[in-house]
Chains A and B, each alone.
Chain A
Amino acid sequence: MVTTTPLEEQLLELAGSVPDPELPVLTLRELGVVRAVRAHGTDSVEVDLTPTYTGCPAVEVMSLDIERVLREHGVREVTVRTVLAPAWSTDDITDEGRRKLREFGIAPPRTGATRGPVRVELGPTRREGGAADGTREPVRCPHCGSPETELLSRFSSTACKALRRCLTCREPFDHFKEL
Chain B
Amino acid sequence: MTTTPAADTVPTAAALALGDDALVLSHRLGEWAGHAPVLEEEVALANIALDLLGQARVLLSMAGDEDELAFLREERAFRNLQLVEQPNGDFAHTIARQLYFSVYQHLLHDRLASGDGPFAPLAGKAVKEAAYHRDHAEQWTLRLGDGTDESHARMQRAVDALWRFTGEMFQPVEGIDGIDWPGLESAWREAVEDVLGRATLTVPEGPRSGAWRAGAGRQGLHTEPFGRMLAEMQHLHRSHPGATW
Give chain A's interface residues, CB within 8 Å of chain B. Answer: 51, 53-57, 63, 80-88, 114, 117-120, 122, 125, 152-159, 163, 177, 179
In the bound complex, do residue A54 and residue B126 qualify as a contact, i.e. CB atoms below 8 Å apart?
yes
Query: Could you give 14 example pairs across A and B, Cβ below 8 Å?
Result: A53-B129, A54-B122, A55-B51, A56-B54, A63-B1, A82-B1, A84-B58, A85-B121, A86-B124, A87-B124, A88-B125, A122-B142, A153-B41, A158-B47
In the assembled complex, the CB of B167 is this many whole angstroms from the nearest CB of chain A, namely: 25
Q: How far is the CB of B146 from chain A (nearest CB, A)?
A: 11
Binary A-proximity of B1-30 (CB < 8 A = 1, otherwise 0): 111000000000000000000000000000
Distance (Å) between the CB of B170 and the closest chain A CB? 20
Chain A residue contacts of B128, Cβ below 8 A: 87, 114, 117-118, 179
Decide: A120 near B53, CB < 8 A? Known: A54-B58, A155-B47: no
Name which of A54, A82, A87, A159 has the most chain B CB atoms within 10 A of its CB.
A54
B106 pairs with A117, CB closer than 8 A: yes
- Cross-chain contact A154 with B135 (CB below 8 angstroms): yes
Question: Does the CB pair B54–A122 fall under 8 Å?
Answer: no
Contact with A along B106-134 (1 / 0, CB 8 A): 10001000000000111011111101101
Decide: A152 and B40 in contact? CB cutoff 8 A.
Answer: yes
| Inter-chain contact B127/A117, CB cutoff 8 Å | yes
Nearest Cβ in chain B — how far from A72, in angstroms?
A: 21
Q: Which residues of A contact B47 (CB under 8 A)?
A: 155, 158-159
Chain B residues with CB under 8 Å of A157's CB are: 43
Given contacts A63-B1, A117-B131, contact A55 B136 (CB under 8 A): no
Residues of chain B within 8 A (CB-CB) of A87 are: 121, 124-125, 128
**How far, in Å, is B127 (CB) from chain A's closest CB?**
5
A37 CA to B225 CA, complexed, in Å: 48
Q: Which residue of B has the minimal Cβ distance to A179?
A: B128
Whether the Cβ atoms of B125 and A119 lie closer than 8 Å is: no
Give the interface centre of A55, A57, A118 by most chain B CB atoms within 10 Å: A55
15 A-B pairs besides A118-B131, A155-B43 with CB distance below 8 A are A55-B52, A55-B53, A63-B1, A80-B1, A84-B121, A84-B122, A117-B106, A117-B110, A117-B131, A118-B128, A122-B139, A154-B44, A155-B48, A159-B129, A179-B129
Q: Quick one: given A53-B51, A53-B54, A56-B54, are A82 and B106 in contact (CB under 8 Å)? A: no
Residue-by-residue, is B37-74 near A (CB-CB < 8 Å gives 1, otherwise 0)? 00011011011101111110110000000000000000
Most buried by A among B1, B53, B55, B126: B1
Question: B138 on the interface (CB 8 Å rule)?
Answer: yes
Cα–Cα, bound, A154→B55 (Å) = 20
Find out whether the CB atom of A120 lies under 8 angstroms from the CB atom of B129: no
On whether the beta carbons of B131 and A163 are closer than 8 Å, the reply is no
Q: Are B55 and A55 in contact (CB under 8 A)?
A: yes
CB-CB under 8 A from B139, the residues of chain A are 122, 125, 154
A54 to B121 alpha-carbon distance, docked (Å): 11
Give, as a whole number of angstroms, the nearest-CB distance from A34 to chain B.
Answer: 15
From known contacts A55-B54, A81-B1, A122-B135, infer whether A163 and B40 are also in contact, taking CB-CB under 8 Å. yes
For the complex, give the distance between the alpha carbons of A82 and B121 in Å: 12
In the bound complex, CA of A81 to CA of B132 (Å): 27
B134 partner residues in chain A, CB cutoff 8 A? 120
A122 to B106: give the CA distance in the assembly, Å: 16
* Cα-based distance from A110 to B196 in the complex (angstroms): 31
Tell which of B41, B124, B138 has the most Cβ of chain A within 10 Å.
B124
Say yes or no: A120 contacts B125, CB within 8 Å: no
